[in-house]
Structure 1
Amino acid sequence: MKIRLVQTIRNYDKKNLGKDLTAGLIIMAVSIPISMGYAQIAGLPAVYGLYGSVFPILLFVLFSTSPQFIFGVDAAPAALIGAALLDLHIESGSEEALAAVPVLTAFVALWLLAFYVMRAGKLVNYISAPVMGGFITGICTTIILMQVPKLLGGTAGTGEFFELAEHIAETAGEINLPSLALGAAALVILLIAKKLMPKFPMAVLLMAAGALMTKYLPLRAWGIKTLDAVEPGLPVWSLPDFTAVPVREAVTISLSVAVVIMAETLLAENNFAQKNGYRINDNQEILAFAMGNLAAALTGCCPINGSVSRTAMGEQYQAKTQLTGIVAGLSMIVLLLGGTGFIGYLPVPVLTAIVISALLGATEFELAVRLWKVSRTECLIFAGAFFGVLMLGTINGVLIGIILSFSEMIIRTAKPARCFLGIQPGHRHFRDLKEGSQIHAVEGVLIYRFSSNLFFANIQVLKQDIEDHVTEQTRAVILDASGIGSMDITAADGLGMLYQSLKEKGIRFYMTEHIADLNEQLRKLGLGYMIEEGSVRRTIHIALKDMGIKRPYPLEGGVDNDDRSASRKRADNRVQEFVWAFGTETEEQIEKQILLQIEQLKEGGDVENLLHGRWSHMEAMDEDEWLEHLEEHLKEIVNISGKDEKTLARRLEEHRREVHDRIATEHPELAERFKERRHVLDEHLKQRRPEVYELVVSLREKEKTDLK
């Protein structure tokens, strides 16, 4: 597994420097209240939130392939760790918590490394855009509801929707009007600035203004909270005490946290990547998560997660590369070493307004509106993921969205697009009969297109459609399988029953237009007899030709069908059909079918039938190879039929010459290739049946002499 480090900063474009620097500083400032609050939720002192915004971010930047995503202390892992401490009977903020949390973080890092080795990043490919949109919108809405009480002068909420709503209601009963006024004013200014001056760093200006207001106005006396002061200094690196938490509990708790980090962050990263037109390496991102959490464990922090709010903030201020994360991490180091006094001057309502403003920009309610107009089912999936996250938490919301997504996929493939085909007089291409009154069915033939892979949930739809349209005048059913790439055993059994049912009614069944790999599947699933009996053909035109129906095709209702299309076929249609149908078994199958024809000859069949076998109307390349195989059995055919050896050999040679002349006339560009191939087939004949080869050569020489 190839790993490329600092991938998004290679060949750095200097024109992005100002944007990345500005965004990095803003993200550092915004991370202060967010990180400190979530660290306390996880059972650690507030300063550990700042520690988690240094080395884990820098390690993540080193390995990440996302140019814009930001790593840091975040809500979901912090809440899970805080709940786990309660279950372990460890008091939040105690010495036991300081020892236990890094152990859980270390196990989270180990689980993420295991997910990386197992290449679990591929799982995100199975999650649809509505699930991603609902998931991100649910997370943003949840965090906004967590932050709302801080605007009202209270503390951040925790839990899901009902707990958050209850906490907002309680805080509203003791509302602090100056706090609400300051926060609301800041939020309005930010939203207006985002509309009128999207490139202006209004968040930085508001933080500076807030710090000045705290210094020169009695904000604290008015009940407006500011951040707690923090002791200066960087985190100390040390190994966690793995005896602080029983191994069994550490493994199970950390597994759920690791799954949440992987699912939430990968989904969010892919959402931003899809929205902004770039790609990420999902598996390397998991490695980046693991490295970030390893750094967090070694510096005593709680598990670290991808942050939608900080990433949305970076996007708002046009951050272009992970230099933004480096600036955020390094500036946090500077702050911890010499600027912690500034932290105590930052008003909480202003910082809360900045976070809410960024989160409002990251929601995707406009996607829900679009889905409602286009697909109510996909809108329901969006709503399921959204309300799942909001009501039941991150991981449950993801699971609900995935279940809905897979259910919708099964429903859609169970009733795929399908239609019956006809042809417009004077044209060669088959089209949906419902396109217009000028499209007419071929007389006595049902041509049916099925646009989905065949499996247990939709084979009955195919059978029912065909059976409902078969009439007494139907001579054949042709399945246009161009949209079928695979089938399961249930579908194969159903297709076999349909084939036999139509056969009993004297109706031919053809399967056409599909990829060659499907023929291999047919053989493995026990439907190889359909290929051997000539019922699996490369194109609809060949199937009709096999029935003896030639252009211009007779149309139902006696509609006149003058053939105004080109008389010559395209050369790319001259692919060997036997090779297409039988693949690596081509030689073996030609030989097998010839032996079956020879057995029928013993029962009084006509030698002339041997020229084509069951696969009548072969392409020229196939027909030439068929005749070469027949020549190998010349002695046996002579003994059975009583025909003269030279007469029979001459008939085969005449037929081969007819095939060559047809190729030379219709496709002169293939004539030279055909001669080269004839030489190869002659060499095979010389090796296998030298006596027949000598006879054929003598006949050719005699023919040349006669012509002279």
Structure 2
Amino acid sequence: MNLRLFPTLKNYNLRNLPGDIFSGIIIAAVSIPISMGYAQISGIPAIYGLYGSVFPILFFALFSTSKQFIFGVDAAPAAIVGSALASLGIAAESPDALACVPVIAFFAGLWLLIFYFLHADRIVDFISTPVMGGFISGISLTIILMQIPKLMGRDAGSGELPELLHYIFLAARSISLLSLAMGISALILIRIGKKIFPKVPMSIVIMILGVLSTTCFHVQNHGVVLLQAVEPGFPTFLIPKFGEVALTQTVGRGLMVAVVIMAETLLAENNFAFKNGYKLNDRQEILACAAGNISASFVGCCPVNGSISRTAMNEQYGGTSQVVSLTAGITMAVLLFGFTGFIGYLPVPVLTAIVISALMDVVEVHLAIRLYKVSRNEFYIFMAACISVLFLGTIYGVLIGIILSFVAVILKATAPPRSFRGIIPGKESYYDLGRNRHAYPIQHVIIYRFNENLFFANAKVFQEDLENSLKEDTKVVIVDASSINSIDITAADRIEAIASNMKRRGIQFYITEHSSSLNEQMRTLGIGHLIKEGCVRRTILAALNDAGIHRPYNLEIPESEKKLAELRSHSHLPAEEEDTLEEFAWAFGKETVQELEQATHTIIEHLHQMPDIERLSDEGIKEHFESWHTLGALDEDEILHRIELHIDELPEEMHKEHRHIVELIEKRRTRIREKVLEEHPELAARLEQNRIRLEKRLEKQNPEALRKWREWKKRE
């Protein structure tokens, strides 16, 4: 276990100390109204929000590897706990609430500790951004609706959306106009101030104005509720009262809180780390969260979480390490020791406005707009997660959110991107017919690309796409399987059925472009016979050549566009050579050597048929065989040497050309070596080793040809 304490202070630059201390003081000041408000949301007195801003934040700093993230009392856990109390019939700030909330915090910390030992940080990878965004937005909107009655001078609402709307309606029948005016004015000032003066902590300014309104104008005498006064002093350490609560309920709520804390904290931390160029230890961050929550339970506080809004403020003020958290925790401790008197002068509607403003920044409106523009399915998932929290509560929202995460995975897998491909005149590759208006299908040929692993849930889509694409004149169907890395037995059976159906209809069927591991899977799943039958080719080009379709291709071009599609003629090698030496090793395995020798003989024949060999340059050797553009340096070097071994197989009338051809080949091999030294010097030694190994292999594979070549070299 590689555990390091205060990891962000390693090699700390003391030049950053003044800035970190300043940022820490600002964070502490901002945390006063926010943490007090969230504590009330969770069902405990406001002072416990300050208690939760001392030891939890210090313990988090002890373990956290994040240079910026701020921990403390925050929206999501507070909302879950507050909702849990309501569902259990426990009144806010009652003795039962004071007993239950710390136990939930303890079990949340315990679950996080278990997650740490189970290496559960990867679970977050299964919670999509739309689900988490919708869930957090739903919680934030719920809390905002809960707070609206407090702006009107009434108690906070509770329950889900219908109950909250009903409670707001009842509160509106007896509004304290001064309270509402103060709350709305404070909210407007915060929102405007943040835009005009982004570096000014408007929450602190509004809090000071609220205290002044009490001391100067005595607003409490006009129907405005004030926070309860707090005696100065540190929090009393206590053991959570496990015997006074329903353990089954608190353990379950603790689990839900822990999942939300882990997911939200890790997602947000990684976002800040990525933006600012440093790395995190995700597993240790879970331990930091566990330590923070367990310490919160021993001071009677609610569960604590990473705060996105306060971290953004820390980033804004240039915080560089967890010195910021240490400063904030110490500052809050000094406040509790002797400066809590102002709390009793803080108007509730002002504090409520501060909380609502903070929550408005947490609602992921920008994410919803982005999803609506780029991915409607993910937008609907976002909205479903948000609405489920609003109507069903946070507990069911967590469950629905997790289910939606898996639904998102299934939707992507069962409806993957896929396309039919064609040729753009004058270009070599195969292009999506739906995205390229100058791409045309090859006559009698269907080229289909499937961009997902093939398994039981999407095998039917694969089969239907192919079957629905067939025309009366279709002769060849080629599957570009470059994105298919695995298949299951259901998919294997479908592939076999498709191949059989195509054969009955007189259509040649090919699977191409995939890795060799897929061939192994096909053999394991009982459809290896398709490889032997020639249905599996290394590339699309090899499949086309095998089907007897060569350039220039006949394209299905409308008459009105044919003048734009004049293709130049090409000469090509047979399919085996067309796809370079990789085709041999990929497709023929142990028979690679025999096939390679056959390819070499074919090239010799091409040399025999070439006119004006004397005009051929070393680059011309490569350019004449167009497919060589895909050869790597090592592969090209090997095939050139193999050609040399068979140079005496040229007919007698070409013997005078032997010297010229060998000179060109040797010149080409020299250029290959120079290019490797220039562009990839790390491969130079490998090239030499490859040449030595090739000589040894050739001594075993074709010793007679190698002997003749050496004798010929000596004569020359």
Structure 1 residue 203: Cα displacement: 2.4
Unaligned runs of 5+ in 1: 595-607, 627-649, 686-691
- The match for 2:373 is 373
CA distance in 2, matches of 1:473, 1:16: 74
Query: What letter matches 2:40 in structure 1?
Result: G
SS at match of 1:366: helix
1:393 partnered with 2:393: yes
User: SS state of the match for residue 71, structure 1?
Assistant: strand
Question: Which of 671, 678, 685 is the aligned partner of 2:694?
Answer: 678
How many Å separate the matches in 2 of 1:625 and 1:47?
A: 78
- The residue number in structure 1 matching 2:418 is 418
Aligned length: 650
Indicate the residue corresponding to 2:605 in structure 1: none
Change (3 A) 1:212 1:116: same
Measured against aligned partners, the alpha-carbon deviations of 1:181-231 in whole angstroms (never above 9, x if no partner) come to: 222222222122122222223322222222233223222212222221112
Query: How far has the Cα of 1:15 moved from its partner?
Result: 7.8
Shift of 1:334: 0.7
Counterpart residue type for residue 217 of structure 2: L
**SS of alignment partner, residue 221 of structure 2:** coil
Deviates more, 1:518-527 or 1:234-243: 234-243
CA contact (8 A) 1:312 1:362 kept: no
1:444-501 superposed Cα distances (whole Å, 9 cap, x missing partner): 4332222332222333333333334445654432222223233232222111211222
From the superposition, tell whether residues 472 and 652 of structure 1 become closer, same or farther in structure 2 (CA, over 3 Å): farther
SS in 1 for 2:465: helix
The answer as to 2:209 corresponding to 1:203 is no
Deviates more, 1:267-276 or 1:499-508: 267-276
Say if 1:20 and 1:320, in contact at 8 Å, map to a contact too: no
Distance in 1 separating the partners of 2:55 and 2:523: 58
Q: Distance in 2 between matches of 1:65 and 1:193?
A: 33
CA distance in 1, matches of 2:494, 2:469: 17
**Contact 2:24–2:326, Cα closer than 8 Å, also in 1:** no
Sort the Cα spacing of 1:238 and 1:26 in 2 relative to 1 into closer, same or farther, 3 A: closer
Alignment of 1:271-286 (within 5 A): 280-286=280-286
2:612 counterpart residue number: none
SS of the equivalent of 1:212 reads helix
Deviation track 1:69-98 (CA, whole Å, cap 9, x = no partner) reads: 433334554566567778989887677766
Closer/same/farther in 2, CA of residues 623 and 338 from structure 1, 3 Å limit: closer
Could you report, residue by residue, the CA deviation over 1:372-392 in whole angstroms, capped at 9, with x for unpaired residues? 333332222221122122222
What CA RMSD, in Å, does the superposition of the two structures yield over aligned residues? 4.6
SS in structure 2 of the partner of residue 220 of structure 1: helix
Helix, strand or coil at the partner of 1:227? coil
Relative to 1, partners in 2 of residues 1:15 and 1:473: Cα closer, same or farther, differing over 3 Å?
farther
Structure 2 residue aligned with 1:28: 31
Letter in 1 for 2:335: L
Q: CA deviation at 1:116?
A: 1.6
Give % identity.
48
Contact persistence 2:153–2:223 (CA under 8 A)? yes
Amino acid at match of 1:478: I
Which residue in the other structure is 1:580 paired with?
586
1:249-299 CA distance string (max 9 Å, x none): 664453344334334544555676788887754433321211111212333
2:478 equivalent to 1:464: no
Q: 1:67, CA displacement in angstroms? A: 4.6
Residues 225-250 of structure 1: per-residue CA shift (max 9 Å, x gap): 22211122212445546555576666
Cross-structure match for 1:135: 135
Alignment partners' CA distance in 2, 1:230 and 1:377? 50
Q: Please name the residue that 1:118 is paired with.
A: 118
| Contact 2:698 2:706 (8 Å CA) reproduced | no
Q: Is the 8 A contact 2:28 2:329 kept in 1?
A: no
Q: Aligned pair in 2 of structure 1 residues 550, 96: CA closer, same or farther (>3 Å)? A: closer
* Pair 1:248–1:699, CA change in 2 (3 A): same
1:541: which partner in 2? 541
SS of aligned partner of 1:464: helix
Q: 1:8 to 1:166 in 2, by over 3 A?
A: farther
SS state at 1:536 partner: coil
Contact 1:158/1:164 (8 A) holds in 2: yes
1:155-186 deviation digits (Å, cap 9, x = unpaired): 23333323322332332222212212222222
Residues 706 and 454 of structure 1: CA distance in aligned 2, closer, same or farther (over 3 Å): same
User: What CA distance in whole angstroms lies between the structure 1 residues aligned with 2:251 and 2:271?
Assistant: 30
Q: Give the alignment of 1:266-415 within 5 angstroms.
A: 266=266, 269=269, 280-307=280-307, 310-311=310-311, 322-415=322-415
Cα offset for 1:303? 2.9
Distance in 2 of aligned mates of 1:577 and 1:497: 26
Query: Deviation of residue 338 (structure 1)?
Result: 0.7
Give 1:532 shift: 3.5
**CA positional deviation for 1:538:** 2.1
Return the offset for 1:403: 3.5
Residue pairs, 1:516-531, within 5 angstroms: 516-531=516-531
Taking the TM superposition and a 5 Å limit, the aligned residue runs for 1:658-669 are: 664=665, 668=669
CA distance in 1, matches of 2:236, 2:214: 32
1:547-696 equivalences in 2 (<5 Å):
547-555=547-555, 561-563=567-569, 574-581=580-587, 586-587=589-590, 664=665, 668=669, 675-682=691-698, 696=704
Equivalent residue number for residue 55 of structure 1: 55
SS of the residue 1:478 aligns to: strand
Aligned equivalents of 1:326 and 1:3: distance in 2? 19
SS in 2 for 1:485: coil
**What is the correspondence of 1:208-219 to structure 2 with a 5 Å cutoff?**
208-219=208-219
For residue 233 of structure 1, give the secondary structure of its aligned residue in structure 2.
coil
If the length of structure 2 is used for normalisation, what is the TM-score? 0.76
**Distance of 1:88 and 1:441 partners within structure 2:** 65
**CA separation of 1:552/1:707 partners in 2, compared to 1, >3 Å: closer, same or farther?**
farther
In structure 2, what is the Cα distance between the partners aligned to 1:504 and 1:653? 47
What is the alpha-carbon distance in structure 2 between the residues aligned to residue 159 and residue 268 of structure 1? 28
